[in-house]
């Protein structure tokens, strides 16, 4: 059965007819072609499909697309500029080798973004709690934590933001 859905993704409004069985992750990847959101387990464990729904991180495999009607979604694609300039959190992941295969990285970056927005100077424990819902199978947690710590410092150093990140 086809249902009508209206939502805003990365600042852009969409009106689409979708199958009611579609999950938010399916909509993002297969309809809107935003493939930075990854589908891993489909059971809410791995966090590869993490996106922001009205400013809060959620697992998009566990939300029906139609249930995001009239909501605001932010995906990893909104973190960098259209010109391809990476967000300071992404830069920190690159410079600290906070990724290996990269499958978990979009989710990790968005979880980090939500953490740093509400808590600009997190402790190591707070960083670990913030990414508890994002599994990395390359076991790179140590470098991921280090990346987030450095991103926090980099963001704190910037007196005036020269990069317009997404409105979370």
Partner 1 sequence: MISQPFDFHAPRHVDEALLLLDEAGERARVLAGGMTLIPLMNLGLVQPEVVVSLNHIDELDYIVERNGELRIGAQTRHATVQSDAAIARAAGHLAAAAAHIGDVQVRNRGTLGGSLAHADPAANYLPVLLASDATVVLQSKSNQRVVAIRDFVVDLLRTSLTSGELVVEVRIPSLRAGAGAAYAQMARVEGSFPMVTASAVASRETRKARVAIGGVTARPVLVECGLEPAGDASHIAQAEVREPLVDMHGDAAYRRSLAGVFAERVLTAAVNRAGDVRTSR
User: 8-11: long-range contacts at Cβ-Cβ below 8 A with a sequence spacing of 24 or more?
Assistant: 8/71, 8/72, 8/73, 9/34, 9/73, 9/74, 9/75, 10/34, 10/73, 10/74, 10/75, 10/77, 10/78, 10/166, 11/78, 11/166
* For partner 1, the closer CB: 55 or 81: 55
Q: Shortest distance, CB of residue 136 to partner 1, whole angstroms?
A: 14
| Least distance (Å) between residue 1 CB and partner 1 | 6
Pick 2 or 160: Cβ nearer partner 1: 2
Query: Applying CB under 8 A, which residues contact partner 1?
Result: 1, 3, 19-23, 26, 42-44, 47, 50, 53, 56-59, 61-64, 66-67, 69, 111, 114, 129-130, 132-133
- How far apart (Å, rounded) are the C-alpha atoms in residues 60 and 51? 6
54 vs 95, beta carbon nearer partner 1:
54
Neighbours of 89 (CB within 10 A): 25
Least distance to partner 1 from the beta carbon of 115, Å? 8
Residue 84 beta carbon to partner 1: minimum distance, rounded to whole angstroms: 27
| Residue nearer to partner 1 on the CB measure, 45 or 97 | 45
């Amino acid at each position: 059965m086809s249902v009508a859905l209206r939502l805003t993704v990365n600042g852009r409004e969409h009106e689409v007819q979708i199958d009611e069985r579609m999950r938010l992750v399916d909509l993002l990847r297969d309809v809107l072609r935003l493939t930075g959101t990854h589908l891993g387990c489909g059971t809410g464990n791995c966090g590869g499909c993490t996106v922001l729904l009205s400013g809060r991180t959620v697992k998009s495999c566990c939300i029906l697309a139609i249930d995001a009607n009239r909501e605001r979604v932010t995906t990893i694609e909104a973190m960098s500029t259209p010109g391809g300039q990476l967000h300071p959190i992404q830069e920190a992941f690159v410079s600290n080798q906070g990724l290996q295969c990269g499958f978990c990285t979009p989710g990790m970056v968005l979880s980090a973004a939500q953490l740093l927005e509400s808590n600009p100077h997190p402790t190591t424990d707070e960083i670990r709690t913030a990414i508890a819902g994002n599994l990395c199978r390359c076991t790179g947690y140590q470098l991921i934590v280090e990346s987030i710590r450095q991103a926090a410092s980099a963001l704190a150093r910037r007196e005036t933001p020269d990069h317009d990140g997404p409105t979370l």
